[in-house]
Structure 1
């Protein structure tokens, strides 16, 4: 029986990755990787650099040191755009557009997963019936669900999820877990920041623990 195919490089790998703000270290140096079919949980207390790390990986902040590769090639803006979908604390949505208009707008910018529709994605995240609701009329939890719908529509294989369980009830937490599980089952990967493993998705996971640098 032939051995299963193993990619020659992890989807994303960091070596010696570090970031400082005003000459004070925020995190690093860090060595880690995440591959298709797995989730990397990033844990740490307030100020440990979890959000900053995801913003560096997404290309929103520039690292002070180390290397970052995507499928074995140095990460640049184009490769990040193809491979990474980032869901941060802020929704990144337009307040005067409706829920459905926001999804169409973002799919036009970033592309769309094959065989998926924005209206169907709203139903998946529990926002069926809110297609025409302006974003500014939605609650914090509904905005988080709309962000999750955009995440589901993204064709990028690597999800960066910054505290995806925030502002969600138990049903919402279970929704995130089902979405991550389905994404990994289809060959994707996820890097998830969380304060604790109580909400970790039921998938193959590894842990990256961040600690506040010593003064």
Structure 2
């Protein structure tokens, strides 16, 4: 499986934020997107997730794992194979933590039971809060509930190998950040793929780096290859 981005351009509010971006990310790899506010980090993730239409270029998910049962080299719709956790938690404050995950699972096409949602919450140590409306939770707890969408595949039949994360460590304490780093390393070891926009270290050794904005460029931490605008 690989994510192929070819001559991608992205606009938001009439502004061209990303122009002619080309790169490939293979399964087992992570790309960390950096840059100042307004440089296009969230726009890039929203475009990859299918929330925004590209201004130009193509986004393709290709390879055997991406097209299981359809012959290996055909393209797969990325929006159907990715899970996006935005910089906003995207939770319904009147619903409990478990109810929010049941809703999220349904949106991903795999209905979940409250018990399955509680089991997923336990990955982040939140099972005891499963029946609490998220409006009563702290910012860090709400962030962990939002991130629990990433592990739904362990409990319901959801196959989303591409994780798109926007400031994933926001509001997390040091212990929760390490839990997330461990989860991301597990995902990569299993052949998954991560694109994360962040200002903070994620604890992912060998991750590639893409910088947007006035110092735009790309750096492969594994072999030192880089290009810049």
Q: TM (normalized to structure 1)?
A: 0.83
1:151, 1:185 → 2: CA distance?
15
Unaligned 5+ segments in structure 2 are 63-72, 154-158, 217-229
Question: In structure 2, what is the equivalent of residue 129 of structure 1?
Answer: 128
| CA distance, structure 2, for counterparts of residue 178 and residue 193 of structure 1 | 18
Q: 1:36 aligns with which of 5, 27, 31?
A: 27
CA–CA distance in structure 1, aligned partners of residues 7 and 109 of structure 2: 32
Q: Is the 8 A contact 1:83 1:158 kept in 2?
A: yes
Q: Determine the C-alpha separation between the residues in 1 that align with 2:42 and 2:138.
A: 23
Larger relative CO (CA 8 A, sep 6+): 1 or 2? 1
Matched, 1:88 2:86: yes
- Kindly indicate whether residue 93 of structure 2 is the aligned counterpart of residue 102 of structure 1: no
Q: Secondary structure at the match of 1:56?
A: helix
How many equivalent pairs are there? 198
Contact 1:160–1:191 (8 Å) recurs in 2: yes
Q: Is the 1:99–1:133 contact (alpha carbons within 8 Å) kept by the matching residues of 2?
A: yes
Cα separation, 1, equivalents of 2:79 and 2:184: 20
Query: Which of 191, 211, 219 is 1:187 aligned to?
Result: 191
Q: Partner of 2:203: helix, strand, or coil?
A: coil
Number of the residue aligned with 1:175: 179
Superimposed CA distance per residue, residues 57-78 of structure 1 (whole angstroms, 9 cap, x where no aligned partner): 1111111111111116556xxx
Q: How big is the alpha-carbon RMSD for the aligned residues of Structure 1 and Structure 2?
A: 2.3
TM-score after normalising by structure 2: 0.79
Matched, 1:46 2:32: no
